[in-house]
Amino acid sequence: MARLGIILHGVTGRMGYNQHLVRSILAIRDQGGLTLKSGEKLEIDPIIVGRNAAKMEELANKHSIKRWSTDLDAALANPDDHIFFDAGTTLMRAELLSRALDAGKHVYCEKPISDDLQVAVDLARKARASGLKHGVVQDKLFLPGLRKLALLRDSGFFGKILSVRGEFGYWVFEGDWGVPAQRPSWNYRKADGGGIILDMLCHWRYVLDNLFGEVKSVSCLGATHIGTRVDEQGKPYNCDTDDAAYATFELEGGAIAHINSSWAVRVRRDDLVTFQVDGTHGSAVAGLTKCWTQHRVNTPKPVWNPDQPQTIDFYKTWDEVPDTQSFDNGFKVQWEMFLRYVAEDAPWPYGMEAGAKGVQLAELGLKSWAERRWLDVPRLEF
């Protein structure tokens, strides 16, 4: 059995802990490792690293993790560990990844890889020049709902894709009237790397590029709908960055995409995120796990009449796409892809270049908002 040592940094946060540590790395470990194409088993040997020794020890004991440390330099210096993963803060990420590359580690990380495009491009160039393996989390591509959209696209179901409409978000409680906030306070402070445009346009870049056509141009309007919230210590603070974004994108091939992203919206739709894709031959609506379709031969013919109640139950005119295959946790699926990429040079399309493209779109979205105009998305050179 081959062994692969993995340094995990930033796994005390919500996403790092739930999706990357527990549901990905430990799940792979507990299933006995990963079976490679050769038939050999790949053993996963993680070490968790963070500043708080008590938290590291508590996590290690809770999940039977043999190794933990507060000394990142020592972890990077250990030749027996081969991969460095970061799910910490955005503002620290590029510097940490650069140090890991200097130490000869393959790198994998959450997005965004930076809040600055030039830093992101320089990091991608450094990763390419190093000869080491590198990757960025593109988790939404591995959601069952979006994988069903990809299946529909590949089957020719849509015909020519005309438009994509995305709705993402939910009400994040302000924390000032008895219900604590369900997102951390740094999300609403610019100096800490907060803001929904930086967070979500990085996601929408890889979703649009990979499923519907590369993004050619963007028009984005941001907003800070809620100006004051209460932090984890119960103290009010001013929110100085965007908590909502209303963005329109032109795509290669002619399709138009519009995606609303908000932490100040109450949900009345099928899921916390939904994508409606309209084509000449059919349409589909996908959430996190489910997907519904309407072919052109099954499309109802409504007539506008504001003087009578609507007689068509539009929801009943759609058919659900069945689960014809099993879908594992999306983060775990991408982790397994990256581990195969490192261990046996399996295909891998999600390098630091993809991370830089996400930062580019977020930066252009912020600039579009500031200048109140459409902006083209130029091709990046690495």
114-160 per-position pLDDT tens digit: 999 999 999 999 999 999 999 999 999 999 999 999 999 999 999 99
| Whole-number pLDDT of residue 270 | 96
Bridge partners, 295 (sequence order): 282
Euclidean distance between CA atoms 348 and 41, whole angstroms: 20
Q: Work out the average pLDDT over 158-181.
A: 97
pLDDT of 304 over the 80 cut: yes
Residue 156 sits at φ, ψ, to 5 deg, of 85, 10
The CA angle 15-21-25, to the nearest 5 degrees, is: 135
Q: What is the pTM of this model?
A: 0.95
68: confidence class by pLDDT, cuts 50, 70, 90:
very high
pLDDT of 214 over the 90 cut: yes
| Whole-number pLDDT of residue 220 | 98
Task: Please name the residues in contact with 241: beta carbons below 8 A apart, sequence gap of 6 or more.
Answer: 188, 189, 190, 194, 195, 224
DSSP H helices, the chain, are 14-15, 26-30, 53-63, 72-77, 90-102, 117-130, 144-155, 196-211, 330-344, 352-371
pLDDT of 276 over the 80 cut: yes
**What are the distances in angstroms from CA 315 to CA 114, 273, 284, 292, 372?**
41, 17, 12, 9, 36
| Whole-number pLDDT of residue 111 | 96
Residue 306 sits at φ, ψ, to 5 deg, of -70, -5
230: confidence class by pLDDT, cuts 50, 70, 90:
very high
pLDDT of 1 over the 90 cut: no
**What are the distances in angstroms from CA 57 to CA 16, 65, 99, 157, 362?**
16, 9, 24, 52, 37
| Whole-number pLDDT of residue 282 | 98
Q: Work out the average pLDDT over 101-126.
A: 98
| Whole-number pLDDT of residue 45 | 97
* pLDDT, mean over the chain: 97
Percent of the chain surpassing pLDDT 90: 99
| Whole-number pLDDT of residue 305 | 93
Supply 49's token pair: 């690293």
277: confidence class by pLDDT, cuts 50, 70, 90:
very high
25-48 per-position pLDDT tens digit: 999 999 999 999 999 999 999 999
353: confidence class by pLDDT, cuts 50, 70, 90:
very high
344: confidence class by pLDDT, cuts 50, 70, 90:
very high
196: confidence class by pLDDT, cuts 50, 70, 90:
very high
Task: Give me the residue label for tokens 């056509």.
Answer: 213
| Whole-number pLDDT of residue 297 | 97
254: confidence class by pLDDT, cuts 50, 70, 90:
very high
| Whole-number pLDDT of residue 110 | 97
pLDDT of 100 over the 80 cut: yes
| Whole-number pLDDT of residue 242 | 98
